[in-house]
Structure 1
Amino acid sequence: MSNDTPRERDRLEAIQRNVDAFTTGILDGLPLQTSWDCLELGAGAGSIAYWLAERCPDGRVVAVDLDTRHLDAGRAPNLEIQEADITHDAYAPGGFDLIHARYLYCHLPARDAMVERAARWLAPGGWLVIEEPYHLPAETSPFPAVQRLLAAYQRRYRDHGVDMTWARGLPAHLARSGLSEVSFTGNLGCMGGLDKDRWRPLIAQAAPALLAEGLVTEADLNEFAGLLDDPAFIDIPQVTVSAWGRRPSRVPDAEAPVDNAVCRHGR
C-alpha cells in the first residue's frame, strides 16, 4: 500500500496497462484544448500525465504525488513533477482547466472534503474527473479461492482506512461541490482471462502482509495462482466508476449580487 514497496512499480504499470485506454477515452470526450493547464493528482507511474502533456503542448501538466520516484520530468517540456501532500492545508496549486485523479480518493481520510477542495482548484469552465474502484462483495465470486482472497484483501485495505465502495457516491459529491454537467460511467474489471497481469502483481504485493496477519494461507495463494494460469478462469471483482463535472464559467443568476436599484423600482 506504499510506493516504498519493491513491487509498487509492477503494480502501477499493471493498472496502467489495463485502465489507461478507458481513462483516455473519458478525457478524449471532454473539449480538451492544446492550451489547457492540467493537474494530475496521485500521478503514480505517470502514464496519464505524459498523455496529457502530449495532448496539451501549449499548456502545462503538473503531476503531483507523495512519492515521485516513478515519474520522469524529462518526458515533456511542459511537464512539471511536484512531490507534495495534496491533503495539507498549505497545498494550493492554483487554477486548472482539467484536474484528474485515478484510484486516489478511496485512500484519502477526508475524501469528501477533498472533492470540494479540488473543485476549488478549477479555473472557471474547468473539468474535474475522478475515477475510483467499487469492489463487488467478495462472497459473490463463483470461485471459493477468490472469495477468500478478496475478502482478506478488502479487509486489509478497510483496516487501513481505505473505502472500496465510496465510488458509488462520487457523482453526488461532484454535484454538491458546485460542479455542473455532472456525468459518469463504469468500467468492469476483469480477473483472469485476458487480464491476468493486473491482479497477479496486486496480490503479489499484498501477499506478505496478508500472510503475516493470518488473513490468507499459502494454499490460498497457490490456488489463486493456479486460477490465473487457467485460460478458462474469468471473474469480475470490481467496477471502476468514472465521474466528471465542470465548474460554471460564471456565477449562476440565483447567486449573483442583487442590484438593489432594480429591486426597488421593479421591472
Structure 2
Amino acid sequence: MLSNDARSEGDRLQSIQRNVDAFTIGLLEGLPIEPSWNCLELGAGAGSIAYWLAGRCPDGRVVGVDLDTRHLDPSRAANLEIQEADITREDYTPGSFDLIHARYLFCHLPERDEMVARVTRWLSPGGWLIVEEPYHLPASTSPFPVIQRILDAYQRMYEQHGADLTWVRGLPALLARNALTEVAFAGNPGCMGGLDKDRWLPLITQAAPALLADGLITEADLAEFAALLKDPAFIDIPQITLSAWGRRPAETKATTA
C-alpha cells in the first residue's frame, strides 16, 4: 500500500513524532507511572515513545515491537528491548505489563476489536492501556477542492487495504466492554497547512505512487497540493486523533470471616 522505501518511511514516522508526541506524552504524564513499571509499545515506529518510557521507567523494562525495526535503536537505553514481530501472531504472558501504548496501529488490523481484547489480557492488575487512532473527517467537507480529491483517494486506498479510519469512535466503549475501568478519552485535531511545518506532505508523498498508479489522483493534484502547503492562508483539519485509555482492575484479596 505504502512505499517500503526506508527514507520515505523514516520521513513519515519522524513527521508523525514531531507533530503528535507532545500530545501523547501529555496523556502519559497524566497516568500514575512508576519507575519500576514494565511497558509495551506496540507499533513502535521510530521509537520516540518507547525511548521516553525507557527514561521514565529506569527500574523497569520497555519492549518496543514493530513489523519493521529498521528505524529503532535498541542501544538508546539499557532497559529497552526491541522486537521485530507481528503482534497479531505474537502473544505475551497474561499480566506482563503495567502499561501498554499503541498509536496509529489498531485501525490497520483486520481483527482490531479482537486484538484489543487480547492486549487487555497482557495487562497486569492495575495496569493501563492507552490507544491512539485517527478519526478521518469526510473528505467532501474540506473547503478546498483539491484536498477533497486527495483525501478521498487517500481514505479509499486505506479502506481497500482493510483499514478503518473511523473505527476509533467506538474505542472507549470497547475498552469498557473488555472490563477496563476509569475509561477516558481525549482528542487532538490534526492540522494540514498553516504556518507550522506540515506533517501531511510526507504522508501524501509516500502514498502518491500508489494513488497515481490507481488513477485516484493526478500529477496536477499533487502539484496543487504542494503549492497550497506554501500558502499561509491554507489551513484545513483532515482528521482528529482520538486517544482512549482504561485500567485493568486491581486484584483484591479474598477475605475470610
TM range (shorter): over 0.9
* Higher Rg: 1
Give the CA deviation at 1:197: 3.1
Correspondence for 1:20: 21
Residue in 2 aligned with 1:265? none
Give the drift of 1:11.
0.2
1:91 aligns with 2:87: no
Match for residue 49 of structure 1? 50
Counterpart code for 2:216: L
- Per the alignment, residue 83 of structure 2 pairs with 82
Deviations 1:48-80 (A, max 9, x none): 000000111010100000111110000000000
Structure 1 CA distance, aligned partners of 2:196 and 2:181? 35
SS at structure 1 position matched to 2:224: helix
5+ residue gaps, structure 2: none
Q: TM (normalized to structure 1)? A: 0.92
**CA offset at residue 250 of structure 1?**
1.8
Q: Deviations over 1:18-46 (max 9, x none)?
A: 00000000000000111110000000000
Measured against aligned partners, the alpha-carbon deviations of 1:97-144 in whole angstroms (never above 9, x if no partner) come to 000000000000100001111100000000000000000000000000
Question: Do 2:2 and 2:210's aligned partners in 1 also have CA atoms closer than 8 Å?
Answer: no
Whole-Å Cα distance in 2 between the matches of residues 160 and 2 of structure 1?
A: 10
Q: Secondary structure at the match of 1:236?
A: strand
What does residue 168 of structure 1 align with?
A: 169
- 1:199-210 aligned within 5 A: 199-210=200-211
Q: TM-score, normalised by structure 2?
A: 0.95
Aligned to 2:67: 66
2:3–2:206 CA contact under 8 A, matched in 1: no
The unaligned stretches of length 5 or more in structure 1 are 263-267
Residue equivalent to 2:237: 236
Aligned mates of 2:240, 2:71 — CA distance in 1? 26
Alpha-carbon distance change, 10 to 36 in structure 1, aligned in 2, over 3 angstroms: same
Q: Please name the residue that 1:123 is paired with.
A: 124
> Following the alignment from structure 2 to structure 1, what is the Cα–Cα distance between the partners of residues 50 and 235?
31
Q: Look up the SS of the partner of 2:46 in the other structure.
A: coil
Partner of 1:180: 181
**Matched residues in 2 for 1:4 and 1:150: separation?**
21
Tell whether the 8 Å contact from 1:196 to 1:228 is kept in structure 2 after alignment.
Answer: no
In structure 1, what is the equivalent of residue 5 of structure 2?
5
Contact 2:2 2:207 in 1 (8 A): no
What root-mean-square deviation, in Å, do the aligned CA atoms of Structure 1 and Structure 2 show?
1.7
User: Cα distance, 1:2 vs. partner?
Assistant: 5.0
Contact 1:145 1:223 survives alignment (8 Å): yes
| 2:31 partner amino acid | L
SS in 1 for 2:91: coil
Whole-angstrom CA distance in 2 between matches of 1:127 and 1:143: 40
Distance 2:221 2:52 in 1: 38
2:18 is paired with a residue whose SS is helix
SS of the aligned residue for 2:188 comes to: strand
> What percent of counterpart residues are identical?
72
Asked if the contact 1:85/1:91 (under 8 Å) is kept, the reply is: no
